Amino acid sequence: MAYVNKENQTAPLKEIGIYAIFYFLFLAAFFAMPAGAFALNLDFASWQILKSPHFNVYYHNGNDDFARAAASIAESAAVEISKTLNLKNIPSQIPLILYDAGDAPFGFTNVLQNKIWVSIALPEPVELSNKTWIESIIRHELTHYLMGAKLDKFVKLGTGRLIGWGVTPMWFIEGVAQREESEWNAVKDSAVRTAILSNKFLNLSDLQIFYFFNYQGRRLGYHIGNSMVNYMVERFGPRVISDILENLSYFKLNSFNYSFKKVTKMTLNEFFRQWHEHSLSVYSKQVESKKSIKEYSAPLNFYNGLNLSPAFDCKGKNLFLLSNKGRDARRLSLYSIDVKKSAPSKLIDNLEDDYFLHNNSDFILFCRKSRNKYDNLVSDIFKYDFKTGEVKRITRWLQAANPVYDYEDGLIFCVRQESGATNLCKVDFDGNVRQKITDLGYNCAIYDIQIPEVPSGQNRPHEKIMFLNYFKDGRFSVAYLNYDKKSPQYAKIIPLTFFDGIVIKPRVFLQKDGSYRQFFIKDRAGIFNVYSINLIHSKDGFKISGCEQVTDFKESVLDFDYCPQYGRFAIITQNVYGSDITLLDSGKKYYDGENSSPAKTVQANLPLRRLPPPRLPAKARSIKSARTKTISSSIILYPWPAPNLRSRSSASRAASRTPLTATSWIINCWADRPGTET
């Protein structure tokens, strides 16, 4: 990934022109490519179509409710985004294809075929926003589609959008889509702030083509593009986006630069310089009263890349964590580090984020993605035995995540993805689903499930309580769930916190007095830090007896673990290359402000009801099965044979696993989803 120091912030106009030529060459090469080179495997399913005023929603697996919700979201979003782009007429029969064949989240807009593809799979918590996950991804991809429709107004027969993508830089294309997708949030803010304050951020040349970088550089490009578009709108008003598009000339190599200067009366280089100075000023003030975590302790001498999911063993002598080994890709391996010697040893490769460490360090449970018979990526549960080094596959094509071992019955809790929803299940070590505990809709999501850690020598409590991160209708909360079938509160998810913003990585520990201490990460003024609350369980629910901010670092905290027996924290903080890991004494103070001590009881007497999906517009509400005789005139549902989209050949499968080229980016404007990397 390329970075620039502030002495070299801008890209020469000539250099940007070279990129435009580069795009056109690949556009020409594209037309010689086989039609199925970027096709997904669609022949395994029976497809149906739901028609709304402006969309044809293609779906399968009987996802009627989800298709209705997607159509309603798309209709509302199309109206809003068209206003931003000053698009007078919304196209009709926009193809929106809902692909439900794995748990790898992605979305892309095929510019040549003029289709929107959305995977029915939930992203990571940090990818969520103030909207439901499906609304965010539809809005992002629909922005690409409608921007292409606007470009087609000036050059007909589909050529306009193709040439338009070639002359328009990636930071603008993706920045506008990110802005329409969701509000600016702490995740985006942390990424841009880290890059700006470290004096290592992408320059204009890089921002033309940041999608050709791998994981870390690509994600940063999206966020910087979003920040630049936001600043551009603040400076020049909301019409600046549509005005720039309307003044593009498809026959000038530096067309975007000319259009930008004509609309804003400022060169692109000057705008970039002013955006950087403004961002540097804002972020410097944001952290001026905070200390760096490095002032307390030096980070471990480990790989300078993405490091996450730390977990102490029961004795606090070894620390386990996942790392991408300094590579700019999200391919994680499990390491064990001797805390005293800081000597790492690699155990296994290819893990997903959340794994479970047995309290005696006998084994770990983890998830790993593999390709099923339809060549789709699906996550399953595996077991790694520390004594033998054996890896055993437990489930097969379950779409599972976040395995947690139940010490009482010897079964495994996990979060299972089903048709756009996540639900809590129990499986045995033969891979059989023994119990489905929750029944949630697409507007909810479960992450980070955990049975409270019990100190050595202390008995486990009788109540069967699980804590989790609960996302519903654009809002995060730390919540708990009773999984005792005899309890009247069985399977009900009860929120404990009601903070604004993002809450991630809750960790719960049983204390000696029988109360619980709940740690979690939340943002305050755009910076993530560790907080904790004390919970006292009673028959009426949980009483929150104290709320404490534990850390107040200038770096955002991404993950952590706590070892109460030995009084240690393992803190993962964000850096421009990924993340650092630092060991801290939990007995010391890392926040100088005052903490509050609210007394609040969370009642648990109301059941959690499954909310119906949003309704379609009045003209598009009723829907009948394709098998019945009566079919609404405004929404039509019928089998779709998926014409011209066949099972992929071995050559096309191989092509899909190669790194993205300029051509594939021009064809597929992918959303920044973790699951796009295989």
Question: Tell me, what's the pLDDT at 251?
Answer: 67
Strand partners for 167: none
Question: Tell me, what's the pLDDT at 598?
Answer: 42
Of the pLDDT bands very low, low, confident and very high (cuts 50, 70, 90), residue 545 is confident
Question: Tell me, what's the pLDDT at 133?
Answer: 87
187 lies in the same domain as 125: no
461 within a domain of the structure (yes/no): yes
Question: Tell me, what's the pLDDT at 209?
Answer: 80
State the average pLDDT for the chain: 80
Instruction: Say which range, 137-151, 274-288, 332-346, 622-636, has the weakest mean pLDDT.
Output: 622-636
Strand partners for 405: 412
- Judge contact between 308 and 558, C-beta under 8 A: yes
Of the pLDDT bands very low, low, confident and very high (cuts 50, 70, 90), residue 231 is very high
Of the pLDDT bands very low, low, confident and very high (cuts 50, 70, 90), residue 566 is confident
Long-range contacts of 194-198 (CB under 8 A, 24+ apart): 194/555, 194/556, 194/574, 194/575, 194/576, 195/3, 195/220, 195/224, 195/576, 196/276, 196/279, 196/280, 196/283, 197/280, 197/283, 197/284, 197/287, 198/575, 198/576
pLDDT tens digits, one per residue of 622-649: 333 332 222 232 333 333 333 333 233 3
Q: What is the number of helices (H) and of strands (E) in the chain?
A: 13, 31
72 lies in the same domain as 221: no
Contacts of 143 (CB under 8 A, 6+ apart): 81, 85, 176, 177, 180, 181
Strand partners for 590: 551
610 within a domain of the structure (yes/no): no
- What secondary structure does DSSP assign to 627-677, as a single string? TSS---SSS-EEEE--TT--PPPHHHHHHHTSPP-HHHHHHEEE---GGG-
Triad 178, 402, 517: Cα angle to 5°:
95
Strand partners for 601: 543
pLDDT tens digits, one per residue of 144-202: 999 988 888 755 555 666 777 778 899 999 999 999 999 999 999 999 999 999 988 78
Question: Tell me, what's the pLDDT at 160?
Answer: 63
Please give the average per-residue pLDDT across 364-369, as a whole number: 95
**How many domains does one find in the chain?**
3
Structure tokens that stand for 219 in this block: 């994600």
Structure tokens that stand for 384 in this block: 């790694």
Residue type for position 325? K
Q: Is the pLDDT of residue 474 over 60?
A: yes
Residues shown for the chain: 678
Contacts of 658 (CB under 8 A, 6+ apart): none
Instruction: Say which range, 141-150, 244-253, 331-340, 519-528, has the weakest mean pLDDT.
Output: 244-253
In the 3-class helix/strand/coil scheme, how is 522-549 assigned residue by residue? EEECCEEEEEEEEEEEECCEEEEEEEEE
- What secondary structure does DSSP assign to 413-442, as a single string? EEEEEETTEEEEEEE-TTS-EEEE-----T
Is residue 514 classed exposed, middle or buried when 0-12, 13-18 and 19+ CB atoms within 10 A define those classes?
Answer: exposed
Higher pLDDT, 612 or 475: 475
Pairwise CA distance, residues 141 & 610, whole Å: 27
Question: Tell me, what's the pLDDT at 242?
Answer: 96
Q: Is the pLDDT of residue 415 over 50?
A: yes
Instruction: Say which range, 308-312, 376-380, 673-677, has the weakest mean pLDDT.
Output: 673-677
Contacts of 413 (CB under 8 A, 6+ apart): 403, 404, 405, 406, 424, 425, 426, 449, 451, 466, 483
Percent of the chain past pLDDT 90, that is, above it, reads 50
Pairwise CA distance, residues 86 & 263, whole Å: 15
533 within a domain of the structure (yes/no): yes
Instruction: Give the strand pairing for 47-51 and 637-640.
Output: antiparallel
- Comparing CA positions, the residue from 180, 182, 177, 183 lying closest to residue 165 is 177
Angle between helices 255-264 and 13-30 (to 10 degrees): 130
Pairwise CA distance, residues 463 & 448, whole Å: 20
Percent of the chain past pLDDT 70, that is, above it, reads 78
Please give the average per-residue pLDDT across 279-284, as a whole number: 96
- Judge contact between 672 and 218, C-beta under 8 A: yes
Question: Tell me, what's the pLDDT at 395?
Answer: 96
Question: Tell me, what's the pLDDT at 125?
Answer: 84
37 within a domain of the structure (yes/no): no
92 lies in the same domain as 208: no
Question: Tell me, what's the pLDDT at 280?
Answer: 96
CATH number of the CATH domain containing 367:
2.120.10.30
151 lies in the same domain as 227: no
Question: Tell me, what's the pLDDT at 666?
Answer: 28
Is residue 636 classed exposed, middle or buried when 0-12, 13-18 and 19+ CB atoms within 10 A define those classes?
Answer: middle
- Phi first, then psi: what are they for 403, rounded to 5°? -70, 140
Query: For the sheet containing 318-323, what is the strand order?
Result: 307-312, 318-323, 332-338, 343-351
- Phi first, then psi: what are they for 271, rounded to 5°? -60, -45
Structure tokens that stand for 294 in this block: 């490095």
Structural domain boundaries enclosing 179: 1-32+170-288
Q: Which of 255, 288, 321 is the last residue of a domain?
A: 288
Question: Tell me, what's the pLDDT at 463?
Answer: 81
pLDDT tens digits, one per residue of 498-540: 888 889 999 999 888 888 999 999 998 899 999 999 999 887 7
DSSP 587: T
Q: Which of 538, 571, 602 is the last residue of a domain?
A: 602
Question: Tell me, what's the pLDDT at 20?
Answer: 47
Question: Tell me, what's the pLDDT at 596?
Answer: 52
Higher pLDDT, 113 or 365: 365
Angle between helices 170-181 and 64-85 (to 10 degrees): 120
Q: Which of 288, 322, 352 is the last residue of a domain?
A: 288
592 lies in the same domain as 636: no
Q: Is the pLDDT of residue 275 over 90?
A: yes
Helix, strand, or coil here: 170? helix
348 lies in the same domain as 436: yes
**Residue 408: how many CB atoms within 10 A of its CB?**
9
181 within a domain of the structure (yes/no): yes
Structure tokens that stand for 439 in this block: 């029944």
Q: Which ranges constitute the DSSP H helices of 411-542?
A: none
Please give the average per-residue pLDDT across 343-366, as a whole number: 91
CATH number of the CATH domain containing 50:
3.30.2010.30
538 lies in the same domain as 678: no
Higher pLDDT, 308 or 2: 308
38 within a domain of the structure (yes/no): no
Please give the average per-residue pLDDT across 575-599, as a whole number: 81
- Judge contact between 59 and 69, C-beta under 8 A: no
Residue type for position 207? L
69 lies in the same domain as 188: no
With residue 510 as reference, give the H or E element that holds it. strand 503-510
Estimate to the nearest angstrom the gap between the alpha carbon of 43 and the chain centroid. 28
419 lies in the same domain as 544: yes
Question: Tell me, what's the pLDDT at 628?
Answer: 27
Q: Is the pLDDT of residue 658 over 90?
A: no
Of the pLDDT bands very low, low, confident and very high (cuts 50, 70, 90), residue 6 is very low
455 within a domain of the structure (yes/no): yes
441 lies in the same domain as 533: yes
537 lies in the same domain as 430: yes
612 within a domain of the structure (yes/no): no
138 lies in the same domain as 185: no
